[in-house]
Amino acid sequence: MTTTRRISVDGGGAIRRLALNRPARHNAQTPLMWAELAEAGAELAADPQVR
């Protein structure tokens, strides 16, 4: 599991779940969250087990 400030990646194998973690703001997205989402996506794209 990878956790960044506002985005978490859970699971293993071929299936992963990205979760937004900003409940106080109803998960409203910020530029920081977009950057973290891109980072998490790049990590998942580099993992050959993820579909």
Averaged pLDDT for residues 21-49: 91
Give the bridge partners for 11, in sequence order. 16
Residue 19's H or E segment, with its range, is strand 15-20
Tokens of residue 6, six digits: 């506002």
Position with higher pLDDT, 2 vs 27: 27
Please provide the average confidence, as pLDDT, over all residues in the chain. Answer: 88
Q: 3-state SS of the chain: helix, strand, coil percent to 5?
A: 35, 25, 35
Per-residue pLDDT, 6: 87
